[in-house]
Amino acid sequence: MIIAIASGKGGTGKTTVAVNLALSIENVQLIDCDVEEPNSNLFLNIALEKAEDVSIPVPVIDSDKCTHCGLCSKLCEYNAIASIPGSTMVFKELCHGCGLCTMACPQGAIHEEDRTIGIIGRGSNGIEFMRGLLNIGGAMSTPLIKRLKERINEEKTTILDVPPGAACPVIEALSGVDYCILVTEPTPFGLYDLRIAVELCRNLKIPFGVIINRDGIGNQETEEFCKSDGIPILLRIPQDRKIAELYSEGIPFVNEMLEWKKKFIELFERIKK
């Protein structure tokens, strides 16, 4: 089973839920897909080693063959190639590695070379853990997330800590999962982004439910929205000073508040049903 932990916005508690759920169940693999700012390992005290570099193929122009016809520039959906009289330029940072320009060039003036966009790290301390780390300034997180997911261990329950938002990296992370937990907070901002995340899950036809984190800090509109829309509220995590203190020290609260481990186990059993 693959369970994604997502949200419409950052800071709602995705990593908190992902880590505490992973620590509560057995035979689990945790993958941090938030490759721009991965931090799950900070709460698990896992020493990481590099598993692999992740690259995408980018075009290289052979100036001796290129006639600057502009076809490659015209076909590129990502504006990664610009053709002007006497020159054809490649902007590697914009390239998605689709290979269309190489196939379409009538002069055979384009070949591809790999460009490293990030790395995959791994480690274990009872939990099989992996994360992607995008190069500083990198924009192509989707291929890195895709490569991470190719390492999913089908013999384990896999938990994906998904990037915030609802853009391409989130869609890539959610693709093919069995269930999605949407983590939100009971505030106007939380509700606004929750609506977007709900619509995304429905478009992708992924079953989902909601965890309300920091319950009690805002109003009842989030809960009313879930009830009126038939969305199951899986768990409420209160605005609790002890939970906040443990978080600030990098300690998953299920390790110190054992009653919460039971609640996460019950959550997992509910998702399986």
Structural domain boundaries in the chain: 2-46+125-272, 57-116
Given pLDDT bands bounded at 50, 70 and 90, which one contains residue 243? Answer: very high
CATH number assigned to the domain covering 57-116: 3.30.70.20
Q: Over range 31-55, report the average pLDDT.
A: 95
Q: Quick one: tokens of 235?
A: 């768990």
Q: Over range 93-109, report the average pLDDT.
A: 95
Say what the pLDDT of residue 11 is. 87
Q: Do domains 2-46+125-272 and 57-116 have the same CATH topology?
A: no
Given pLDDT bands bounded at 50, 70 and 90, which one contains residue 168? Answer: very high
Q: Cα torsion for 229, 5, 248, 263, to the nearest 10°?
A: 70
Q: Over range 19-47, report the average pLDDT.
A: 95
Q: Over range 55-63, report the average pLDDT.
A: 96
Say what the pLDDT of residue 10 is. 85
Say what the pLDDT of residue 8 is. 82
Q: Report the chain's mean pLDDT, rounded to a whole number.
A: 96
Say what the pLDDT of residue 218 is. 85
Say what the pLDDT of residue 213 is. 96
- Are 180 and 3 a contacting pair, CB within 8 Å? yes
Taking 90 as the threshold, does the pLDDT of residue 139 lie above it? Answer: no
Q: Where are the alpha helices (DSSP H) in the chain?
A: 14-24, 40-44, 71-75, 100-104, 141-149, 168-174, 188-203, 221-228, 241-248, 258-272
pTM: 0.93
Q: Which of 175, 247, 237, 242 is nearest to 206 (CA)?
A: 175
**What's the pLDDT tens digit per position in 61-97?**
999 999 999 999 999 999 999 999 999 999 999 999 9
Given pLDDT bands bounded at 50, 70 and 90, which one contains residue 192? Answer: very high
Q: Over range 214-242, report the average pLDDT.
A: 95
Taking 90 as the threshold, does the pLDDT of residue 104 lie above it? Answer: yes
CATH number assigned to the domain covering 2-46+125-272: 3.40.50.300
Percent of the chain scoring above 90 in pLDDT: 94
Taking 90 as the threshold, does the pLDDT of residue 23 lie above it? Answer: yes
Taking 90 as the threshold, does the pLDDT of residue 149 lie above it? Answer: yes
Given pLDDT bands bounded at 50, 70 and 90, which one contains residue 114? Answer: very high
